[in-house]
């Protein structure tokens, strides 16, 4: 069951997606991805995605390519879940990101 986000949660999510989000549309499906080195931020995005979609997104950790790099954490949602998140956040994104 999906839950509506508070204004604060929506604003926070829009800010993260504006800076770190990736939106994809390949003609037959949509995808929203967030990848960064801050695991707690990705976990909060996953929680907010779940509040919007009613589905839990799995956090995937990617090992660094060299010893000096940090581990990268990411979540990806597709299809109907991605469309639900897009409907919630896209109206609040800057013009360039809405394109």
Answer yes or no: is pLDDT of 97 > 80: no
Radius of gyration of the chain (CA): 14
For residue 4, the model assigns a pLDDT of 86
49, with CB counted inside 10 A (0-12, 13-18, 19+), is: buried
End-to-end CA distance of the chain, in Å?
Answer: 30
What whole-number distance in Å separates Cα of residue 31 and Cα of residue 34? 10
Q: pLDDT (tens digit, 9 = 90+) per residue, 78-94?
A: 999 999 999 999 999 88
Instruction: Tokens for 24, please give them.
Output: 């994809």
For residue 94, the model assigns a pLDDT of 85
For residue 84, the model assigns a pLDDT of 95
Q: pLDDT (tens digit, 9 = 90+) per residue, 56-76?
A: 999 999 988 888 889 999 999
């Amino acid at each position: 069951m999906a839950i509506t986000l508070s204004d604060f949660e929506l604003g926070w999510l829009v800010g993260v997606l504006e800076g770190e989000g990736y939106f994809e549309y390949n003609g037959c499906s949509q995808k929203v991805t967030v990848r960064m080195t801050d695991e707690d931020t990705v976990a909060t995005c996953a929680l907010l995605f779940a509040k919007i979609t009613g589905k839990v997104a799995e956090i995937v950790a990617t090992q660094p390519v060299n010893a000096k790099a940090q581990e990268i954490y990411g979540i990806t949602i597709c299809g109907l879940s991605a469309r639900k998140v897009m409907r919630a956040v896209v109206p609040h994104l800057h013009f360039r990101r809405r394109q």
